[in-house]
Amino acid sequence: MGILEVNQVYKYFGGVKANENISLSVEQGTIVGLIGPNGSGKTTLFNSIVGTHPIDKGSIKFEGKEVSELPIPVVAKLGLLRTFQQTRIYGKLDCIQNMLISHRHIEKGLLSVFAKIPEELNDKAEKLLKFVGLYQKRKLRAGDLSFGQQKLLELAMALMNEPKMLLLDEPTAGINPTLINGIIDRLIKVNKEFGITLLVIEHNMRVIMSLAQKIFCLAHGQMLAEGTPEQIKNNKHVIDAYLGAE
Amino acid sequence: MSRNKLIGYGLLLVFGLVAPFLFPAFKLQISIMWLLVVLSLTWDTQGGQMGYNSFGNIMFFGIGMYVCSSFHIGMFFSLAEWTEGGGEKTFLHTSLQYFQGLSVGLILSGIVPAIVAALIGYGILGLRGHYFAICTLGLGIAMGEIASGIELIGAGQGMTTPPWPKGIGGVELRSQFYYYLCFALMVITFLFLRWVYQTRFGLVLNAIRDNEDKAEAMGIHTMRYKITGWVISAFFLGIAGGLMGNMIGYIEPTEIAFAGASYGVFMVLMAILGGKGTLWGPVIGAIVFHIFKEGFWIFFLGWQYVALGLLIVLIVVFFPEGIMGWLREKFPERFGEVIDEADRKAQVELE
């Protein structure tokens, strides 16, 4: 059984069938890709998984636990984290603060939030900022960073939280081609060294083919194909969906 | 804390302690100034640090005012008879009663608004942006109208607060007593918030301001922190209200207690003038604002509201981020915004 099991999920927005009978399973420790044309329901599926909106039908299990009814912070605390397509960082805080607040906080009553932030967290934050290459700019406001750097910061923030599984929504969108290689390397490192399972939405075929061990393809809210990168590359339905043949 | 900072804090503390002797004529004005600092500091917890523009924080101020005096009186006399009889004509507190009642009243004037904030917080803090602002604005006004309908606390006619007890020094002692209470409240509020902003809680508030959805997605239960922040504000604001009522000596529901059009707006203005979202901004803003306003009151009577309007326009156009925000833009290095040149090498190695 996989770390994430999505089973026959339906999500309609009025008449729009955003997700219809979607099932997918992600094995622990793998990198899995999720592709599909624009508007095919990839981000909706992400939202359903982390609990942004309730699903109409079906079940979503994380580590064997049903999460489709849980609120967002609770799902995040279980170790299932997402990043956003439109990068979301805390613009007026500096990078270090962005990192510190992303640390997973184990609550021992409401008052524990008034404890001082421990020193060793600072070291951890700086180490991760070095990992994504932002150490030099750690004292700058996150909102002043370029878009690509904000994406890297968001990745570092997610790592700070030490999740078991990360859902990445287009991690390389809007990033210059030379930096993309750096991101691929880092994502592979994240997977290998930190042992974090990744589910990646990506439009850049080169990226997803070199990253993922298994790929799911959505189109019009339905699961179109699944398989290894080789199989997907040669799947006629996938090519039709992307190139628009009927 | 560095030595320079300690000296700075020390000097400010000494100034606050000797001010009533240096400027005896302005004692009441400086007392009000300290309360205004509390008002803008506590508003900034919502509007600046948490990003929730509340126009209804004045309700905690008013509740505190009424609670303080009600208990101050009610502990020893019948509150209904007091408000009906206009207070001082029929009843007099002895010195002991006065101070006993005042201490109980002041403590409750913090606790009751805090409880109110906790109770209504869950419903109201679910609203965001303009909806939150409008809702709190309505609440503040409604509170004033409700208070004008309750006979027990004098309804629209208002109520007098207990007069200073006879036989322990006159008006001079009274104003000194309240001056130091106000100053102490300001110092405690400032130190408390200064500490709070350094803890994880402060970062959580900032995270909610900058991107609440992200904060939730990262596993922060934002609602409980928003409520906690509001409770903290309400507590100090309530005590400030209790003190203000006693200093003025008379509580009127819509003009003094739930004075949305004056103090309710002032607290927002002061925080924005000084620079919201900073610790010192609201303090500086309140002091500048008060001196400006009272200066016009004295020297250009009749023009003070025109000047106030002009000030608002100037703030919005030239200092949208307030005095502190402007300073930060001019001298980012002083605020720790530096690019670490020494580590440029580390950056290159990673590529």
For residue range A2-27, what is the model confidence (pLDDT) as tens digits? 889 999 999 999 888 889 899 999 99
The parent domain of residue A91 ranges over 87-105+116-161
Q: Give the pLDDT score at A245.
A: 65
ipTM of this complex prediction, to 2 decimal places = 0.85
B351, A72: Cβ pair inside 8 Å? no
* Same domain, yes or no: A66 and A180: yes
* Same domain, yes or no: A168 and A126: no
In a domain, A110, yes or no: no
Closest approach of A165 to chain B, Cα-based (Å)? 13
In a domain, A206, yes or no: yes
Q: How far is CA B207 from CA A53, A99, A151, A220, B131, in A?
A: 22, 11, 17, 36, 20
pTM: 0.88
A92, B339: Cβ pair inside 8 Å? no
Six-digit token string for A237? 């339905």
Closest approach of B194 to chain A, Cα-based (Å)? 12
Give Cβ neighbours of residue B94 (< 8 Å, ≥ 6 apart): B165
* Torsion region of A39: left, alpha or beta (phi above 0 gives left; psi -120 to 50 gives alpha): left
Judge whether A118 is closer than 8 Å to chain B, CB to CB.
no
Interface of A with B in 168-197 (CB under 8 A): 182
Name which of A43, A48, A70, A72 to mutate to probe chain B: the one with the most chain B Cβ atoms within 10 A of its Cβ: A72
Residue B64 has pLDDT above 80, yes or no: yes
* Mean pLDDT over each residue of chain B, to the nearest integer: 87
A135, B343: Cβ pair inside 8 Å? yes
**B216 → closest Cβ in A73, A110, A114:** A73
The CATH number linked to A174 is: 3.40.50.300
Name which of B210, B227, B328 to mutate to probe chain A: the one with the most chain A Cβ atoms within 10 A of its Cβ: B210
Chain A residue numbers with beta carbons less than 8 Å from the beta carbon of B347 are: 133, 135-136
**A116 → closest Cβ in B199, B213, B218:** B199
Tell me the C-alpha distance between B84 and A218, whole Å.
75
* Same domain, yes or no: A157 and A168: no
Residue B89 has pLDDT above 70, yes or no: no
Six-digit token string for A219? 């189109």
Tell me the C-alpha distance between A21 and B45, whole Å.
46
Counting every residue, how long is chain B? 351
In a domain, A111, yes or no: no
In a domain, A244, yes or no: yes
Q: Give the pLDDT score at B159.
A: 87
* Same domain, yes or no: A19 and A37: yes
Q: How far is CA B138 from CA B66, B253, B255, in A?
A: 19, 15, 16
* Same domain, yes or no: A52 and A66: yes
Six-digit token string for B342? 């020494």
Q: Give the pLDDT score at B346.
A: 47
Alpha carbons within 13 A on the beta-carbon side of A208: 27
Phi, psi of A154 (to 5 degrees): -65, -40
Chain A residue numbers with beta carbons less than 8 Å from the beta carbon of B200 are: 100-101, 105, 113-115, 117
A101, B215: Cβ pair inside 8 Å? yes
Chain A residue numbers with beta carbons less than 8 Å from the beta carbon of B224 are: 110
**A114 → closest Cβ in B196, B214, B341:** B196
Which tens digit of pLDDT belongs to each residue from A43-67? 999 999 998 888 998 999 999 889 9
Judge whether A121 is closer than 8 Å to chain B, CB to CB.
no
Closest approach of A209 to chain B, Cα-based (Å)? 22
Each domain of chain B, given as residue ranges in start order, spans: 47-258, 259-335
> Residue B267 carries which side chain, given as an amino acid letter?
M
Looking at chain A, which residue has its C-alpha nearest residue B339? A137
What's the structural domain count of chain A?
Answer: 2
B214, A90: Cβ pair inside 8 Å? yes
Whether residue B45 contacts residue B233, with contact meaning beta carbons closer than 8 Å, is answered with yes
Q: How far is CA B324 from CA A172, B155, B214, B284, in A?
A: 37, 42, 27, 9
* Mean pLDDT over each residue of chain A, to the nearest integer: 87
Six-digit token string for A110? 């409401």
Which tens digit of pLDDT belongs to each residue from B194-235? 999 999 999 999 999 999 999 988 888 899 899 999 999 999
Judge whether A2 is closer than 8 Å to chain B, CB to CB.
no
Tell me the C-alpha distance between B187 and B10, whole Å.
12
Tell me the C-alpha distance between A95 and A122, whole Å.
11
In a domain, A13, yes or no: yes
Q: Which of A146, A161, A176 is the last residue of a domain?
A: A161
Confidence of residue B294 (pLDDT cuts 50, 70, 90): confident
* Same domain, yes or no: A242 and A170: yes
In a domain, A74, yes or no: yes
Nearest in space to B289 (alpha carbons), one of B277, B304, B301 = B304
A115, B206: Cβ pair inside 8 Å? no
* Same domain, yes or no: A65 and A91: no
* Same domain, yes or no: A126 and A186: no
Chain A residue numbers with beta carbons less than 8 Å from the beta carbon of B344 are: 136
Which tens digit of pLDDT belongs to each residue from A79-137? 999 988 888 999 989 899 999 998 887 766 667 778 788 888 889 999 899 888 888 88
In a domain, A145, yes or no: yes
* Same domain, yes or no: A98 and A203: no
Closest approach of B302 to chain A, Cα-based (Å)? 41
> Residue A238 carries which side chain, given as an amino acid letter?
V
A110, B224: Cβ pair inside 8 Å? yes
